[in-house]
């Protein structure tokens, strides 16, 4: 498949048997189906078997059934508690006594905090100084000692690793450990149980732990199922890594999807993704915003930007997916302020929100006349800024900035046309 917004970075890698064996000249997979099944037993009564919800809108768009795997409804609001619990549960008594430490901007922090609390293990979580306050508060409420350090996650990660060296606490990596990957792989087992006829699984990729775990479980039992990974275009470390044949570090990953803003694939998940994930695609920030808006409006689900990337991929190239499709909504922990901005951006991209700047004659009743034109065009005025004193304006001119609620791109064009026909100079 080829499109400006979504391009494959690797070709299909079909499997020949139920349990993938070692590649020619290589080593066997670091995580096996048996490990994922054991993780499922460990998680019994701990993690939720999250719902698989059908989407009529996406199904009509794809031309085949589309289901949403709602890990945004998991305990702590994301899949992360699965891997964290399996990892900590596997520690020896001596290691548990030393406590655990993690670094995260949100989801992994909460997963480790809850898992450690459930297992009676002391946890310390390092978070960036700019981490959203709701995520910091939630991590503390789950029982962790939170330490704010650094401006970016890389600085926070180094601080956590130094703390582990100094105190003997066990560092719990968010994705680069076989136990963590096995825990995340239980999502794949649930998908096969809930939708045995599935043909394609679409999952977001950051470091690769979730995609790797799902791929191990699904490909071992159903090698015919296609696994498609999705990354934000501004933080897509996997395409160049797959091309190079080894993990490659991005200099400055940038995306609002902070849950998958990872500069370098993990060594352990990379080896699995390279062998078992059929394709990795990228999506733009606008496509992520549109997907988040769709999840909220059509599915009534609050999903964070990282969790919406599989839906963004479906929207970007609907004809390229064979159904039934399962899209994994990996998390729902989104800061309210970010949600507000993303929704506004998504509405603008969908033609549901229009900003205009125009000039009119500064006389009594001029603004009322303008609003009458907008009312006749069925545009809902959200905000008006009326400027009369600006050196750029003529003596009898005024400038008005409008924020309108509209009904789509065609309606936006119709509103602009109505203003021009009424004699208004539309500046933007």
Q: Which residues are catalytic?
A: 80, 330
Is the CB of residue 282 less than 8 Å from the CB of residue 230? yes
DSSP 190: H
Contact 172, 101 (CB under 8 A): yes
One DSSP character per residue, 253-318 reads ---S-GGG--SS--HHHHHHHHHH--EEEEE-HHHHHHHHHHHHHHS-----HHHHHHHHHHHH-G
**C-alpha count within 13 angstroms, C-beta hemisphere, residue 304:** 26
Bridging pattern class, strands 353-361 and 397-405: antiparallel
DSSP assignments along 353-371, one per residue:
EEEEEEEEE-STTHHHHHH
Rg (CA), the chain: 25
Question: Closest Cα partner for 210 from 230, 234, 184?
Answer: 184
Contact 174, 180 (CB under 8 A): yes
User: Alpha-carbon distance 10 to 358, whole Å?
Assistant: 48
> How far, in Å, CA of 261 to CA of 207, rounded?
8
C-alpha dist (Å) from residue 37 to 40, 199, 209 = 5, 21, 16
HSE-CB for 101 with a 13 A CA cutoff: 20
């Amino acid at each position: 498949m080829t499109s400006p917004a979504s391009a494959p970075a690797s070709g299909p890698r079909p499997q020949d048997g139920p349990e993938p064996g070692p590649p020619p000249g290589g080593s066997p997979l670091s995580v096996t189906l048996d490990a994922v099944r054991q993780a499922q037993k460990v998680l019994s009564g701990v993690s939720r078997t999250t719902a698989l919800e059908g989407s009529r809108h996406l199904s009509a768009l794809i031309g085949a059934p589309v289901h949403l795997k709602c890990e945004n409804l998991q305990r702590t609001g994301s899949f992360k508690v699965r891997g964290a619990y399996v990892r900590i549960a596997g520690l020896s008594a001596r290691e548990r006594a030393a406590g655990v430490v993690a670094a995260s901007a949100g989801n992994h922090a909460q997963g480790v905090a809850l898992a450690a609390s459930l297992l009676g293990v002391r946890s310390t979580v390092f978070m960036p100084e700019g981490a959203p306050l709701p995520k910091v508060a939630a991590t503390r409420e789950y029982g962790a000692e939170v330490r704010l350090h650094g401006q970016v996650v890389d600085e926070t990660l180094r601080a956590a690793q130094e703390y582990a060296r100094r105190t003997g606490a066990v560092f719990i990596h968010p994705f680069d450990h076989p136990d963590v990957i096995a825990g995340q792989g239980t999502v794949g087992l649930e998908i096969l149980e809930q939708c045995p006829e599935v043909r394609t699984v679409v999952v977001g990729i950051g470091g690769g732990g979730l995609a790797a775990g799902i791929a191990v479980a699904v490909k071992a039992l159903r090698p015919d199922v296609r696994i498609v990974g999705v990354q934000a275009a501004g933080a897509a470390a996997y395409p160049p890594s797959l091309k190079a044949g080894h993990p490659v570090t991005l200099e400055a990953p940038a995306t609002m999807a902070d849950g998958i803003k990872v500069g370098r694939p993990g060594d352990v998940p990379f080896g699995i993704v390279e062998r078992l994930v059929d394709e990795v695609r990228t999506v733009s920030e606008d496509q992520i915003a549109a997907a988040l808006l769709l999840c909220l409006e059509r599915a009534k689900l609050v999903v964070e930007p990282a969790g919406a990337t599989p839906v963004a991929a479906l929207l970007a190239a609907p004809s390229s997916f064979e159904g039934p499709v399962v899209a994994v909504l990996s998390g729902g922990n989104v800061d309210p302020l970010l949600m507000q901005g993303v929704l506004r951006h998504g509405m603008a991209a969908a033609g549901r929100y229009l900003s205009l700047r125009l000039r009119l004659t500064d006389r009594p009743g001029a603004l009322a006349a303008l609003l009458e034109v907008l009312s006749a065009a069925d545009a809902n005025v959200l905000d008006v800024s009326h400027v009369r004193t600006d050196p750029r304006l003529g003596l009898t001119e005024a400038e008005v900035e409008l924020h309108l609620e509209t009904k789509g791109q065609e309606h936006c064009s119709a509103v602009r046309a109505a203003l021009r026909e009424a004699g208004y100079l539309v500046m933007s």
